[in-house]
Amino acid sequence: MNNKTLIPYLILIIAPFILGCPGPVKEENKNHASANSLSLDAGNEKYGIKTKESVVTWKGGNLMGSNNHVGYVYISKGELIIEKDHLMGGTAEVDMNTIEDENHERDNGLINHLKDPDFFDVKNVPFSTIVLTKAVSINAENWKVAGNLTIKGITNQITFPARIKVNDGIVKLNGRLVIDRTQWDIRYKSGKFYDLLADQTISDSIEFYIKIVAKK
C-alpha cells in the first residue's frame, strides 16, 4: 500500500462533539465551574441529535507531517441531556461505514484501508460510541467534557473541550477530541510497535472535530 492510503494522525467522533484539550480550570474560574453527574431526573430534558446537521471531521497522517488526510464520519443516532441550559450528559453512535475522505468519497484505497482490520475493522465492528459522563462549565459557552469512547469494542476514558449553546430548543455543540489510536488497538505503522518505518511512520494521534446539533 502506498503512502496515499495511509491514515491520518488519528481521527470520531464522533460528534461529530471540537480544540486541544484544555489544562486545569483556572483558579479564577473555579467559583463559576460546576461538575455535573450525568444522571437523568425529572428536571432534565432530552434533545435528539439531528444526524443530517451533525458531523465528525477526522484528521490523521504521517508522523513527519507529510501525506496527511482529512475526512468525515457521521452520527447514526444519539441524544444530549440538558438541564436549565446546562449539559448533563449524552450519547452518540457513529456509523463507521460512513467514513469518507475530504472529497466525500467512500470507495477508494484510503477509505477501504481505514475500514479494514489494520484500522477500524468496520466489517466486524461497524459502530463506535461515546457516552458523556461529566461536564464542567468553564463559562457560559465553554465546557470541559468527560466520557467514555468505544472503538473496535474497546472503551477508554476521554476528555475534550467544547463550546455549547442552548437556545430556543436547539443545542449546538462544537468540540475537538484528540486520541492516541493505539489505546484502541490501532497499531498499523505506529512507531511504538514497529521499527525502521522512517517517513512511513503514522502518527498515533487522531483529531476529531465534532459538530452536533440537537433538538427537543
Q: What is the pTM of this model?
A: 0.77
Burial class (CB in 10 A: 0-12, 13-18, 19+), 174: buried
pLDDT band at 35 (very low <50, low <70, confident <90, very high): very low
Give pLDDT, residue 10: 35
pLDDT band at 200 (very low <50, low <70, confident <90, very high): confident
Q: pLDDT for 86-114, tens place per residue?
A: 899 999 999 999 999 999 999 999 999 99
Quick one: cell of 141?
Answer: 459557552
Lowest mean pLDDT among 7-21, 41-55, 139-153, 155-169: 7-21
Write the CATH number for 63: 2.40.128.110
pLDDT tops 50 at residue 26: no
Give pLDDT, residue 62: 81
Mean pLDDT of 179-187: 96
Q: pLDDT for 123-158, tens place per residue?
A: 999 999 999 988 898 988 899 999 999 999 999 999
CB 116 within 8 A of CB 5: no
Domain that holds residue 122: 3-215
The number of domains in the chain is 1
Please give the Cα distance from 142 to 103 (Å, whole number): 31
